[in-house]
Amino acid sequence: DAKKLVRSPSGLRMVPEHRAARSPFGLDEPPWVPDKECPRCMQCDTKFDFITRKHHCRRCGKCFCDKCCSKKVPLPRMCFVDPVRQCAECALVSQKETEFYDKQLKVLMNGATFFVTLGTSDKSELMVCRLSNNQRYLVLDGDSHYEIEIIQISTVQILTEGFTPGGGNTRAIGMILQYKVPGSEEVTQMKFTAGEDFSCNKKLSAAWLAAMHKATKLLYESRDQ
């Protein structure tokens, strides 16, 4: 999908030419709190003057002094080219998201192998599951082929094993995914199960499921914005 470089008051952004092509994990730039409505820092209540200047957080749009909004952190969910100024609270959130974009997103795009069961069928099919490069589709390839639009996914339940009463670690072994078929209100369910045979790498499958769990959280967050 073609992209273009745009400049906003917050900084340079590399965005898709068409809004319909944007990543489902993306967030819109927030409106800035007008200068006249924030005579004091919205964090520490310091009064702004010629010495204490005001700065806007690029993620929440609120107004802060330099001390409370000094960090410049990458914000890929808004397509910023360079790290941008954010308040301490937003910077912490953005730093956590950076791991998803630097590591887990690549895991999803590389894909993993699962046995996939459609609906209430008792038959499963071995398929390679991956996230498309534009982040808009979940692509499943085997004898059959499916492309599920990410924004049509309604629920994702990660299946785990290994829990012990003493608090032992769990391991992701599959997931149940529900999504709407475009053009209708029908909801379809798919079950993904990591295979036991040599053709399925359990460690890779578990990493893919963990990344999918994080992607789902970001997806729900972006819907709430």
Provide CB contacts within 8 A for 183, sequence distance 6+. none
Which stretches of the chain drop beneath a pLDDT of 50?
Answer: 198
* The pLDDT value given to residue 188: 92
CATH number attached to the domain at 110-222: 2.30.29.160
* The pLDDT value given to residue 17: 86
Give bridge partners of residue 139 from the DSSP assignment: 130, 147
Q: What is the distance between the terminal CA atoms of the chain, rounded to a whole angstrom?
A: 24
Burial of 114 (0-12, 13-18, 19+ CB in 10 A): buried
Architecture of domain 1-105: 2-Layer Sandwich (3.30)
Total Cβ atoms within 10 A of residue 76: 19
Residue ranges of the chain assigned to CATH 3.30.40.10 = 1-105
Burial of 40 (0-12, 13-18, 19+ CB in 10 A): middle
What SS3 class is residue 3?
Answer: strand
65 in Cβ contact with 48 (< 8 Å)? yes
* The pLDDT value given to residue 171: 77
Residue ranges of the chain assigned to CATH 2.30.29.160 = 110-222
Q: How far is CA 152 from CA 71, 185, 216, in A?
A: 35, 10, 12
* The pLDDT value given to residue 198: 46
* The pLDDT value given to residue 169: 67
pTM of the model: 0.80
Total Cβ atoms within 10 A of residue 217: 13
